[in-house]
Chains A and B, each alone.
Chain A
Amino acid sequence: MAKEFVAQPDLQFTKDLIAAGATDLKKCYQCATCSVACRISPDNRPFPRKEMIWGQWGLKERLLNDPDVWLCHQCNDCSVQCPRGANPADVLKAARKMNIQNHSWPSFMGSLVGESSLFVLAVGIPVIIVLLIVYASGWSFPEGPVVKYTAHHLPPERDGFIWVRFIQVVFTLALLFGIASLVISLKRYWNSLETYNPVVEGGPRRDFWTSLVEALKEVFTHVTFKDCEANNIRYSAHLLVFYGMIGLAVTTAIVAFNFDILGLKPPSLNGPGTVPIKVLGNVSAIAFVVGLGIMLVRRLTVPDQAGGSSYFDWLFIFFIFGTGATGLLTELIRWAGGVGSAYVLYTIHLMFVLALLLYLPFSKFAHLGYRTIAIAWSKAAGRKIDLGVKPNYTPPAKSAE
């Protein structure tokens, strides 16, 4: 490297990283077992070894602009193999959190979602907004069995729980805010990748869109997850969640289009269950919740394989699992004939959805954007990821100790 490297270790950054979940960061003694164990690490300047010492040394600038932390898919092979118990996977995860927080726009939102001390505020904002909507909608349950009514109504009719205009305005704004913030944050991230990683390796520089398409192909097929050893069930689980989420998004989009643009009422519960849109919604929701359930159970029961979980993880799981679970429960209760409880649960569901939309670019949810961008950047820069030949070594399964 031609440029002189003056190390400027930032003790606070190291402490922050440790607080963000890299608990065992300092244990690393640079043996590089992690980089050998990792099946997706590039052969040139592989991760996570270099990230470990950057983290130990508080080299903030490097770690925050390092695309490699996103090439990691958190399969946890490195942590399982680490002879020192330094848990590189957790370190990279913490680094990703710092990445999201650092590039967040507006930046206070990053802190709001990232700091455990602000949990009440982070949860309180969507709660209060939804409560206000409910209050403004009349603060009462519509009369009659819930199955006859939709949750939303358009005054002067009062056959729904919430005035639909509120939903339309508030949730659309939240979605737009989330998307705009994400785009701006990702742009900032891309720029810093460009600034701090000037070396183009491997092949010639390629254009953004080709790289992005390739990256998306990788994301949609989940090929990288397949390489995982220690936590390989996560391939299926994450795939379920991923497509469940897409299914639900498509369902929501179609319903919103039909209802809000075309003015068609959605098929209510009384309608046939075989309506394609309902099938899609229900299947997606089940896939979504089942996939999340698997990952949640593994996090709780086998943390040494699934990796440690920080506040940042739990908050995201809380939001996303809460969204899926409350949504599905609301439907079940409606089937069961519950009235008040269905509305209450639906209210809570709305709070979760709002939180998910608002915090999209700042919570762990943002990984869908950052990882895609990092993969795209690596492809554009010609960073060679595929080793071509898979290591002829199968790490032994960790026995139950």
Chain B
Amino acid sequence: MDHKIGVYIDTGYGIGEALDIEALSAVATGEFKVAVCKAEPYWNEPEKLAIIRNDIANESLTAVIIAGPSPRVFQQEFSFGEVITERVNLREHVVWSHPANDEDTQMLAEDYLRMGIIKTSKYVDREPFMEETDKSILVIGGGVTGMTAALEAAKAGYQVYLVEKEPRLGGWANSFHKVFTGQPPYDEIKDSPIQEKIKAVNDHDKIKVFTGNRVFSISGAPGMFDVIIRPDGPWIEKLVKEQNEWLAAKKAKEAAGGEEAETPKTAEPAAAAEEEPPEEIDFAHETVRVGAIILAAGWRPEDVSNRKNLGYGQYPDVVTSVEFEEIATKGKISRPSDGKPVNSIAFVEAIDDEVKHPLQYASSVGSLVALKQAHYLRSTNPEGKAFIFYENMRTPGQYEKFYQTMQDDPGVFMSRGVPVAVGNGTAGLTVELKDTLLGEQMKIGVDMVVISTGMVPATKDSAILNLKYRQGPFLPENPYGFTDSHFICFPYETQRTGIYVAGCVRMPLDFQSCELDAAGAALKAIQCVELVAQGKAVHPRAGDQSYPELMITRCTQCKRCTEECPFGMYDEKPDGTPLPNPTRCRRCAICMGSCPERIISFRDHSVDMIGSMVKGMHVPDEYSEKPRVVVFVCENDAYPAVDMAGINRLQYSSFVRFIPLRCLGNINMVWIADALSKGIDGIMLIGCKYGDDYQCHFVKGSELAQYRMSKISETLQRLVLESERIEVHQLSIDEYHRIPEIVDAFMETLSGFDPNPYKGF
């Protein structure tokens, strides 16, 4: 595709002093014959921008390249409507991190400009993906979260369908005695306002409530989800069983090698519904079309009857905090065993030494509920003693005020403590605890024991979403059993675009936090339906109008794209070819990296584009002693880190060229081959940290890159090159100080090898 390109070199920021601008301009005008090439300081200033706009109009430029500061700054200024705008980072990546007026620095700048021009010339014109979409929102779960989300979305003018499996709305909150006020001075609790909320939901004309119903299936994609809502019945157990079997089969397969992506055309499990003929719907149901889904299915208390030491189930006066809530609604607290008034209660956490992760038994909710329930006792019995034993007392934010209030109460006794055993005492129960703040193992006699249990997300043991997705009927989970997403940066997100989680199904939350969570998820759902209607990506590349296009005729049905997409974007046709659902796509381009046939491309990001950039740089011959290294960096974390290294004037070798990728998961093996056959001496990949607490914006991009590189030896062997020429690093955004260290160590490694013998071929 031919573009009429204007190149604008910024000579400010010391760039003009450090580089030979004439020679640099000559690259654009001489080698590439661009239409316009100008060098001036500070192109971001209004009068300079006017010059660019003028050129666009007069010279009918279709693309503009700004060679100056990092693309991460002045994004608003350097935005020229439909005209393609590319940025070449001469400031942070060149003059701020390399010596001025140096031959190698000049070569670096020239290479960056070359790559920028090549990249620009590879842009293709393609319209955004637009189809008719629906803007209604489905809310699954009629508890406090679901109802709040429904109300928030409805108040913003969106049609809402609310599905609740129970015959009435309210969920667990129906049985709560009191809740936190969420109002200053934050030291009180109030009656649960759930009834007013139920009424508000029932009265709202934009909310259609389906009580006693469940979601039978969801197919489609954001903006066009088709949801079958079916009355609750025994069918759900069958579905759960099927899904469990499907999951077990999947896990067995993974355990057996996990090489499914490598072996094309294996038989797919039954739940991959797209392969099956459309089911006959022979039951009572209702079908709705929605644009986005809020999953607020809630939680259940963890079963503690198997913890023999806690005495639950053995002694009637040992209850869970959920059961205690119901006891407390009766007013004066009396013992379940004999109805006698309760004067002392031990609140303990169901800590299991064998369960390593504390989230599985304790959360801030557990702490807050224990404090709240201690208040129940103290407010009804002035001589009552409430003992709270905790692993960690977590009272986030303003809840600290309530904690302080309860702490000041002489009748509330707190200590860290792990329950060892609960037994029968002389006048009631005896609790034995270890690791207490009293410095020793201790026993204490009480009338009742209240166990704070873990909160198990509803998705754990029921079929809730029942997605007709190739990657399975439910949302991927994190190691703690909650739905997975890039949790810190993008709360409410899941690994399925357009489906947002809120409330206790996402993480243990109290009543007030559930309301906030619901509002957040409702906003995300609204953002989703609106952006999808405009053909734009939702997150994290919100507003991106590119989308993957597949040259399907060349597809070999290897299924790597359908397997590796972290967001389940691809379904599958019966013949095994991928069936893209562009509105599910996050535009991370991991599929582009996965495709061995290189048939997946975006209008502004393609295998050919990056490959041409690599091939376009100048590689000096082997006698010049100027090695060349290509570093593929993730644009989300590693690239800003390189910028920050420049801002801090950290210096590193001028022989490396950084190429940003949407995600390190873009990495296509062919680029490695391109680079090596071009004579590049070494290749580095710098991506986000992966693992259980991954930082990758696209969940598993950097991990996939690592995986792909582990398979690179074949390529290297074919080229007769050392495997040390390729390194993969994980870097978080704040570790910019490691950039020189990583780069220079790699240069040191390379100095032990001969130059790449393919130079000059």
B682-717 to A contact mask, C-beta < 8 Å, 1/0:
000000000000000000000000000000000000
Are B438 and A57 interface neighbours, CB within 8 A? yes
Cα–Cα distance between A1 and B439 once the two chains are bound (Å): 10
Contacts A11-B410, A18-B410, A26-B408 given: A6-B440 contact, CB under 8 Å? Answer: no
B442 near A5: Cβ-Cβ < 8 Å: yes
Collect the chain A residues with CB atoms within 8 Å of residue B442's CB: 5-7
> A27 touching B408 by the CB < 8 A rule?
yes
Residue of B nearest to A16 (CB): B410
Would you call B385 and A27 a contact (CB within 8 A)? no
Give the residue of A14, A29, A53 whose beta carbon is less than 8 angstroms from that of B438: A53
Please report which residues of chain B, range 404-425, place their CB below 8 angstroms from some CB of chain A when the two chains form the complex. 404, 407-415
Which single member of A1, A9, A54 contacts B440 (CB below 8 Å)?
A: A1
B residues near A29, Cβ cutoff 8 Å: 393, 407
Is A56's CB within 8 Å of the partner chain B? yes
B440 and A5: CB pair below 8 A? Answer: yes
| Residues of chain A with a CB closer than 8 A to B408's CB | 26-27
- Establish whether residues B445 and A6, one from each chain, have CB atoms under 8 Å apart when the complex forms: yes
- Taken together as a complex, chains A and B put the C-alpha atoms of A8 and B385 apart, in Å, by 11
Give chain B residues whose Cβ lies under 8 Å from the Cβ of A18.
Answer: 410
Interface of B is mostly: mixed
- Report if A4-B410 is in contact (Cβ < 8 Å); known contacts: A30-B437, A53-B415, A53-B438: no
Cβ-based interface call for B720 (8 A): no
Give A30-60 interface residues, CB cut-off 8 Å to B: 30, 45, 50, 53-54, 56-59
* Chain B residues whose C-beta falls within 8 Å of the C-beta of A15 in the assembled complex: 410
Which of A5, A14, A26, A53 is within 8 Å of B437, CB to CB? A53
Complex Cα distance, B430 from A5, in Å, reads 12
B444 at the interface (CB under 8 A from A): yes
Inter-subunit contact B445/A26 (CB<8 Å): no
Chain A residue at smallest Cβ distance from B383: A11
Q: How large, as a class, is the contact surface on chain B?
A: 20 to 34
Q: Is B749 close to A, CB under 8 A?
A: no
- The winner among A15, A26, A50 for most chain B CB atoms within 10 A is A26
Q: How far is the CA of A270 from the CA of B408 in the complex (A)?
A: 62
Instruction: Give the residue of A1, A26, A54 whose beta carbon is less than 8 angstroms from that of B409.
Output: A26
**CB within 8 Å for A11 and B411 given contacts A5-B442, A50-B439:** yes
B443 within 8 Å of A by Cβ? yes
Interchain CB contact under 8 A, A7 and B443: yes
- A11 CA to B414 CA in the complex, in Å? 13
**Closest chain A CB from B692 CB (angstroms):** 30
Of the listed residues B407, B413, B415, the one surrounded by the most CB atoms of chain A closer than 10 A to its CB is B413
CB distance from A201 to the nearest CB of B (A): 14
B648 interfacial by beta-carbon distance below 8 Å: no
A9 to chain B: closest residue by CB: B413
* A43-85 near B? 1/0 per residue, CB < 8 Å: 0010000100110111100000000000000000000000000
Decide if B478 is an interface residue (CB 8 Å cutoff).
Answer: no
Q: Does B441 contact A (CB under 8 A)?
A: yes
Q: Is the CB of B439 within 8 A of A7?
A: no
User: Chain A residue with minimal CB distance to B416?
Assistant: A30
**A interface bracket (residues with beta carbon within 8 Å of B):** 20 to 34
In the complex, the answer to whether B410 meets A27 with C-beta atoms within 8 Å is no
Interface centre among B385, B441, B445 (most CB of A within 10 A): B385
Cβ contact within 8 Å between B385 and A9? yes
Q: Which residues of B contact A26 (CB under 8 A)?
A: 407-410, 412
- B410 contacts A7, C-beta separation under 8 Å: no
Contact B444 A6 (CB under 8 A): yes
Option from A5, A30, A45 in Cβ contact (under 8 Å) with B443 = A5
Q: Which residues of chain A come closer than 8 Å to B415, judged between CB atoms?
A: 53, 57
Q: Find chain A residues with CB under 8 A from B437 CB.
A: 30, 53
Alpha-carbon gap, A157 to B404, bound state (A): 70
B residues less than 8 Å from A58 (CB atoms)? 410, 413
Find chain B residues with CB under 8 A from A14 CB: 410
Are A27 and B441 also in contact (CB < 8 A) when A11-B383, A56-B413 are?
A: no
Q: Bound complex: CA of A7 vs CA of B445, how far in Å?
A: 8
Separation in Å of the A47 CB from the closest CB of chain B? 13
The distance from the CB of A29 to the nearest CB of chain B, in whole angstroms, is 7
In angstroms, Cα B382 to Cα A15, docked, is 12
Docked-complex contact A27 and B443, CB < 8 angstroms = no
Residues from chain A with Cβ under 8 Å of B414 in the complex: 56
Chain A contacts for B444, CB-based, 8 A: 6-7, 9
Determine the chain B residues whose CB is within 8 A of the CB of A30 once the complex forms: 437
Residues in A neighbouring B412, C-beta threshold 8 A? 26
Complex CA distance for A9 and B414, rounded to whole angstroms: 11
Q: How far is the CA of A1 from the CA of B408 in the complex (A)?
A: 30
Q: What residues on B are CB-neighbors of A1 within 8 Å?
A: 440
Would you give the shortest CB distance from B126 to chain A, in whole angstroms? 60
**Docked complex Cα distance between A211 and B438 (Å):** 30
How far is B413's CA from A58's CA once the two chains are assembled, in angstroms? 9
A11, A27, A54, A58 pick with most chain B CB within 10 angstroms: A11
Residue with the highest number of chain B CB atoms closer than 10 Å, among A6, A7, A9, A30:
A7
Cβ–Cβ contact A6 & B385, under 8 A: no
Enumerate chain A residues within 8 angstroms of B407, measured Cβ to Cβ.
Answer: 26-27, 29
Instruction: Looking at the assembled complex, report how far the CB atom of A273 sits from the nearest CB atom of chain B, in whole angstroms.
Output: 57
> Quick check: B413 and A57 within 8 Å, CB to CB?
yes
Q: How many angstroms between the C-alpha atoms of A7 and B413 in the bound complex?
A: 11
A290 to chain B, nearest CB (A): 40
Provide the bound-state CA to CA distance between A264 and B445, in Å: 69
Residues in A whose Cβ lies below 8 Å from that of B438: 5, 7, 50, 53-54, 57, 59
The docked-state distance in angstroms from the alpha carbon of A18 to that of B415 is 19
What is the CB-to-nearest-CB distance from B374 to chain A, in angstroms, rounded to a whole number?
Answer: 13
Nearest-CB residue, chain A, relative to B403: A29
Q: Taking the nearest CB of chain A, how far is it from the CB of B120, in angstroms?
A: 58
CB neighbours of B387 from chain A (8 A)? 9
Residue of B at shortest CB range from A14?
B410
Q: Which of B433-456 contact A (CB under 8 A)?
A: 437-445
Question: Whose C-beta in chain A lies nearest to the C-beta of B430?
Answer: A6
Chain B 92-110, CB within 8 Å of chain A: the 1/0 string? Answer: 0000000000000000000
Give the residues in chain A near B385, CB-CB below 8 Å: 9, 11
A18 CA to B409 CA in the complex, in Å?
11
* B118-144 contact mask (Cβ, 8 Å, vs A): 1 or 0: 000000000000000000000000000
Chain B neighbourhood of A6, CB < 8 A: 442-445
Residues of A within 8 A of B443 (CB): 4-7
Determine how close the nearest CB of chain A comes to the CB of B428; give it in whole angstroms. Answer: 13
Provide the bound-state CA to CA distance between A4 and B387, in Å.
19
Q: How distant is A62 from chain B, measured CB to nearest CB, in Å? A: 9
Complex: A53 Cα to B414 Cα, angstroms: 9
Whether B404 contacts A27 by the Cβ 8 Å rule is: yes
Residue of A nearest to B425 (CB): A6
Q: Report B-chain residues with C-beta under 8 Å of the C-beta of A45.
A: 439
Please name the residue on chain A nearest to B404 by beta carbon: A27
Q: Which of chain B's residues has its CB closest to A24's CB?
A: B408
Question: In the docked arrangement, what's the CA distance between A53 and B440, Å?
Answer: 13
B623: min CB distance to chain A, Å: 61
Rounded to whole angstroms, the CA-CA distance of A56 and B386 in the bound complex is 12
B441 to A, closest residue via Cβ: A5
A residues in contact with B445, CB < 8 Å: 6, 8
- Once the chains are docked, how many angstroms separate the CA of A4 from the CA of B434? 12
A305 vs B177: C-alpha distance in the bound complex, in angstroms? 45
Can you name 19 A-B pairs with beta carbons within 8 Å? A5-B440, A5-B443, A6-B442, A6-B444, A7-B443, A8-B445, A11-B383, A11-B385, A26-B407, A26-B408, A27-B407, A29-B393, A29-B407, A45-B439, A53-B415, A53-B437, A53-B438, A57-B438, A58-B410
**Extra A-B contacts (16), CB below 8 Å, given A29-B407, A50-B438:** A4-B443, A5-B442, A6-B443, A6-B444, A7-B443, A7-B444, A9-B387, A9-B413, A26-B407, A26-B410, A50-B439, A53-B437, A54-B438, A56-B413, A57-B413, A59-B438
Interface residues of chain A, those whose CB is within 8 Å of chain B, are 1, 4-9, 11, 14-15, 18, 26-27, 29-30, 45, 50, 53-54, 56-59
Give 3 closest A-B pairs by Cβ, nearest first. A14-B410, A6-B443, A5-B442
Q: B residues touching A (Cβ–Cβ < 8 Å)?
A: 383, 385, 387, 393, 404, 407-415, 437-445
